[in-house]
Structure 1
Amino acid sequence: MDFKLNIQDKFNKELPEDPNTENSRRQVTKACFSYVTPKKTAKPQIIHTSSEMLSALGLTKEDTKSTSFLNIFTGNEILPNTNPYAMCYGGYQFGNWAGQLGDGRAINLAEIEQDNKNWVLQLKGAGETPYSRTADGLAVLRSSIREYLCSEAMHHLGVPTTRALSLGLSGDQVLRDVLYNGNPEYEKGAIVCRAAPSFLRFGNYEIFASRQDNSTLKILVDYTIKNHYSYLGKPSKETYIKFIKEVGDKSLDMVMHWQRVGFVHGVMNTDNMSILGLTIDYGPYGWLEGYDHGWTPNTTDNTNKRYRYGTQPQIILWNLYKLANALYPLIEEVEPLEDILMVYRKKTEDSYLKMMRSKIGLFTEDKNDTLLIDTLETILQKYETDMTIFFRLLANFDSSVVTEDLSLISKAFYTPNQITDTIKEEWKQWFLKYQKRLLKESLNDGERKKVMNTVNPKYVLRNYMAQLAIDEANKGKYELIEEFYQLLKKPYDEQPESEKWFAKRPEWARNKVGCSMLSCSS
């Protein structure tokens, strides 16, 4: 191999394995994973790498030019002295127990230790596993670009997330039905190398609880505490309780960041919930364009809108209930679990209020803040107003003057010609209250703007931007991937040379596939 990685595998050495090494679809019991080999690809090509993740793993840009790098991160070669595997887990999908799911198209290559950090390297789209069910275990370029760019963008937004090391083409054609309407077409196959301290999900624990396999459940929970939550103490009933509380706190922190930047995950099933509170599995996600608590990007969820923007914190609570139920056999007490979930509910209200205060530049508490924020959210949802642009422009508010026009925020309106006198009056009244509230703050306008601009990003990976990069990549042009990768490294900076991306969704993208609604097809 042309480069060195400090491989320190633990998951597939310390946990029970599937004794069946045949790569066939099956129910896997009493095992946390199955060994599997990535599928060799026809004509692999690496089209982008994350310089930051290269550095985090102890690699350099020069290493990416090697044949070994190409082959390993497109599934054509296995790292020396490693045993790739796919994890076994279950999950609740759209509120219903789905049974065994598992890594159907994700293959964990190895665990790397570098600079006192642990990274699991995982290929997504590298072929079939025992958990692929009726699928082919592959991924296509469009979904791979979305995952690659978004996971890195989220990191720079300050959102807890998995990361991405590389984006590659397999050279194979993959058949996909984008809209699930019976019209499948061949698309370019692709593979993303993802990285995270762990890819464990709520579903990893739920599968054993559902089978009443408490022995394997305990082994996995103890492993998780030892390797990821050792500060909670040695495994015991008390530590298990602390563990659930800690997972709840991390998950709450994650979802509040989602709400802050306008990210909608789209498919918050328990098998897509990281045990470390990381954003995981970038499927039919989307970014709010118009501020709308009822919006979901997922076509599968379009009717019930279970995973819409406004319900994400509550869905985390629902998922935590399921995790608590799964771990109950190790605790056998209901009251401490109920207490944790009740506290989460209260923390959600407090955290949301604190987050929204920060978005509008309030850094002290006032009893009327909830009403001020509720009123703002009502107005924003009445008239299609771009979330990212509105909150970024709000930082320019002059607290010494309230004008009669809406020039400060006019750029955020999608249909400015429909702004009536009634609408203007509603905004004027809100700004008057906002102005009065700012007088209770110690920061002057310049100081407030500076802080607000660290909370409200100027640039996010808007759905149409990702689609533009996909369209270009399908033509063999990858410049936009690089441009967006660099742009989204500094989402809070002004970057005047990139001002064209600080703009509302263009009208052509309003109902375009990939720009408004997305399916789970990838």
Structure 2
Amino acid sequence: MASGKHLHDLEGNSTHFVMERANDSFCLKKDMNDWQFSHSKLLTLPLDITQENYVRCNVKNSIFSVVLPTPLKTKLKLVSYSEDALVNILDMDPSVTKTDEFLEFVAGNRILPSSVPLAHRYGGHQFGVWAMQLGDGRAHLLGEYINRTGDRWELQLKGSGKTPYSRSADGRAVLRSSVREFICSEAMYYLGIPTSRAASLVVTDDPVLRDQFYRGLEMTERAAVVLRLAPSWFRFGSLQILAHNEELTVLKQLLDFILIEHYPQIDPGDENKYVQLFSQIAHKTVDLTVGWQSVGFVHGVLNTDNMSMVAITIDYGPFGFVEAYDPQFVPNYSDKEGRYRLNRQLEIAEWNLKKLSQAFIPLLDESQVIQVMEELQNLGQSTSKKLRSAFRKKLGFLQDIDAADNRLIKLLLQMMEETRADFTMTFRQLGEISLTDLGNPQALKSYWSLKKLSSHDNYPAFVEAYLKRLQVEKDLTDEERKRRMCQVNPRYVLRNWIAQTAIEKAEADNFSEVQFLLEVLRHPFTINEEAEKKGYADPPPEWSCTIRVSCSS
């Protein structure tokens, strides 16, 4: 429980911290006693007047509740940490991870004097239905940190205990889902996809009951906590709950905060500032979703409360990377209707943006509403161009030839679907094979996914069309084509079977696979000999098709 005095003391302490700027004398922090949060701008936003930590369905006129994490009771174990996140975002020396103070901090058992832990209130549409008040039911935002390069990051623990928004949940997260989020958020960053980051993963023997597939079969699992980092954790649902409850003064405060802090290119004095803000969020959201499509990533739960106001990937739950190409691919066992399948992600992103636009409308005049509606109407055409551009790069092209490129991409994806060729490895192997070998059955034996693709009747026609299209690219040598394609087509992604292998070892207190995966996926475009031996770029094992991932975590 956070008392009023506690809040006052924490706010006071946080204002005394002055960040060391990047210079020759800057030293990474090796001791948690030397590391502090920066002054929190989030505390200028409306806070819940009730500071007791109990579940409430109708918090009003506030954006955050002040609430402390619930300490874990059993021995803490550090599963893994991201050295890049610690060093280049948090200015911490990796040696700090060996200290008890760090372990207790990233588990939520130790609250720094400079921290004011918050739980965020938001709403949202879940599977297309308005779900009223939601909020951080198992997450605590510890504070903000400005690093030596001047970047501001918000640190959040996931799985750190109950909050006023926990509803019937226990506020905890389990090891299996935490391993997936920890690895995948880092993997997506190295794929070049805008994303939240993960700094650390801690596990304990604290028991958590979960019915993984909602069949009435609860099992005891181990509690885990991920330290997540993001420039902002505000979501579409952050605005939706305020607009729905007609809390317009608070809505305006939050919109102005987001605009000033995260979209500085927009003049806060411009009368059309909210129209410009919506336009930028919309286009960045489309860019993000196109990025997902380009690597075969399916989020799994694209509810409006899981869509970021700064257009980054957040809330990794039942995600998946499509393997044997199937546009109907649904990674989420809980998504019985296939609402969030692979070939609907862009459509759903636009649907969610329409819902977001409704939260803007109370603050717009009639002409501004028309402008926002026009933005939404024009989004489809822009989306098509961006998607074609992404796949054009995957095929090694720089020039844009609308009709020809559309036909070639459509033909390739159709062949991949009908032969069940692997999405990731088909594009990758197209970038590894020489053009002279592309039509050679003997050479194709060394490229398992292309070999599968070549069984299609239209494969010779595709090769002919691809070679002809490449002639348009002036002075493009085959080596340059291969180099270009291998820079955008990964050899390794976090396939479900690979993640499951790491999870099963971690559940037996063997964290080596988590750490190895983190290292491999830091360089997804580069061949790793040990990863090759483990079969990370081979056809998935037969048992992989039995893996099921749900919303339960």
Report the TM range for the smaller structure's normalisation.
Answer: over 0.9
Distance 1:290 1:365 in 2: 28
Aligned position for 2:462? 430
Matches within 5 A, 1:6-45: 6-26=36-56, 27-42=58-73, 43-45=75-77
Matches within 5 A, 1:370-385: 370-385=406-421
- Give unmatched runs, 5+ long, in structure 1: none
Aligned position for 1:176? 210
Given that 1:396 and 1:408 are in contact with CA atoms closer than 8 Å, whether structure 2 keeps it comes out as no
Distance 1:390 1:190 in 2: 36
Aligned position for 2:393? 358
Given that 2:122 and 2:240 are in contact with CA atoms closer than 8 Å, whether structure 1 keeps it comes out as yes
Tell me the number of residue pairs that the alignment of Structure 1 and Structure 2 aligns: 513
Distance 2:317 2:399 in 1: 38
Matches within 5 A, 1:55-454: 55=87, 56-114=89-147, 115-234=149-268, 236-302=270-336, 304-333=337-366, 334-366=369-401, 367-400=403-436, 403=439, 405=441, 407-408=443-444, 411-413=447-449, 423-442=455-474, 443-454=476-487
Given that 1:25 and 1:131 are in contact with CA atoms closer than 8 Å, whether structure 2 keeps it comes out as yes
Distance 1:312 1:211 in 2: 28
Q: Secondary structure at the match of 1:453?
A: helix
Query: What letter matches 2:166 in structure 1?
Result: S
Distance 1:329 1:318, change over 3 A: same
Aligned position for 2:517? 484
Given that 1:153 and 1:485 are in contact with CA atoms closer than 8 Å, whether structure 2 keeps it comes out as yes
Query: What letter matches 1:72 in structure 2?
Result: F
Q: How far has the Cα of 1:402 moved from its partner?
A: 5.3
Distance 1:294 1:216, change over 3 A: same
Query: What letter matches 1:44 in structure 2?
Result: L
Distance 1:277 1:235 in 2: 23
- Give unmatched runs, 5+ long, in structure 2: 1-30
Q: How far has the Cα of 1:521 moved from its partner?
A: 0.6
Given that 1:49 and 1:165 are in contact with CA atoms closer than 8 Å, whether structure 2 keeps it comes out as yes
Aligned position for 2:537? 502
Distance 1:382 1:48, change over 3 A: same
Distance 1:262 1:363 in 2: 21
Q: Once superposed, what is the RMSD of the aligned Cα atoms?
A: 1.7
TM superposition score normalised by structure 2: 0.90
Query: What letter matches 2:311 in structure 1?
Result: G
Q: How far has the Cα of 1:405 moved from its partner?
A: 2.6
Q: How far has the Cα of 1:146 moved from its partner?
A: 0.3
Given that 1:384 and 1:414 are in contact with CA atoms closer than 8 Å, whether structure 2 keeps it comes out as no
Query: What letter matches 1:386 in structure 2?
Result: D
Q: How far has the Cα of 1:174 moved from its partner?
A: 0.6
For the pair 1:518 / 2:549, whether they are aligned, the reply is: yes
Given that 1:405 and 1:424 are in contact with CA atoms closer than 8 Å, whether structure 2 keeps it comes out as no
Distance 1:12 1:365, change over 3 A: closer
Distance 1:253 1:216, change over 3 A: same
Q: How far has the Cα of 1:458 moved from its partner?
A: 0.6
Q: How far has the Cα of 1:237 moved from its partner?
A: 3.8
Which moved further from structure 2: 304-313 or 394-403?
Answer: 394-403
Q: How far has the Cα of 1:383 moved from its partner?
A: 1.4
Aligned position for 2:18? none
Distance 1:173 1:369, change over 3 A: same
Given that 1:237 and 1:331 are in contact with CA atoms closer than 8 Å, whether structure 2 keeps it comes out as no
Q: How far has the Cα of 1:236 moved from its partner?
A: 4.6
Query: What letter matches 2:390 in structure 1?
Result: M
Distance 1:298 1:424 in 2: 30
Q: How far has the Cα of 1:436 moved from its partner?
A: 1.3
Given that 2:388 and 2:406 are in contact with CA atoms closer than 8 Å, whether structure 1 keeps it comes out as yes
Q: How far has the Cα of 1:8 moved from its partner?
A: 2.1
Distance 2:445 2:423 in 1: 11
Q: Secondary structure at the match of 1:368?
A: helix
Query: What letter matches 2:171 in structure 1?
Result: G
Q: Secondary structure at the match of 1:233?
A: coil
Distance 1:396 1:219 in 2: 52
Q: Secondary structure at the match of 1:246?
A: helix
Distance 1:327 1:218 in 2: 9
Distance 2:143 2:174 in 1: 23
Q: How far has the Cα of 1:113 moved from its partner?
A: 0.6
Given that 2:444 and 2:450 are in contact with CA atoms closer than 8 Å, whether structure 1 keeps it comes out as no
Distance 2:32 2:416 in 1: 55
TM superposition score normalised by structure 1: 0.95
Distance 1:450 1:413 in 2: 19
Distance 1:355 1:200 in 2: 27
Q: Secondary structure at the match of 1:324?
A: helix
Given that 1:387 and 1:412 are in contact with CA atoms closer than 8 Å, whether structure 2 keeps it comes out as no
* Identity rate, percent: 39
Distance 1:412 1:318 in 2: 38
Distance 1:411 1:97 in 2: 47
CA-to-partner distance for each residue in 1:161-214, whole Å, 9 max, x for gaps? 000011001330111111111111001110000001111100000000001111
Q: How far has the Cα of 1:404 moved from its partner?
A: 5.4
Distance 1:58 1:402 in 2: 48
Matches within 5 A, 1:454-469: 454-469=487-502
Aligned position for 2:506? 473
Distance 2:494 2:537 in 1: 11
Distance 1:410 1:374, change over 3 A: farther
Distance 1:175 1:476 in 2: 19
Query: What letter matches 1:353 in structure 2?
Result: R
Distance 1:510 1:395 in 2: 27
Given that 2:432 and 2:486 are in contact with CA atoms closer than 8 Å, whether structure 1 keeps it comes out as no
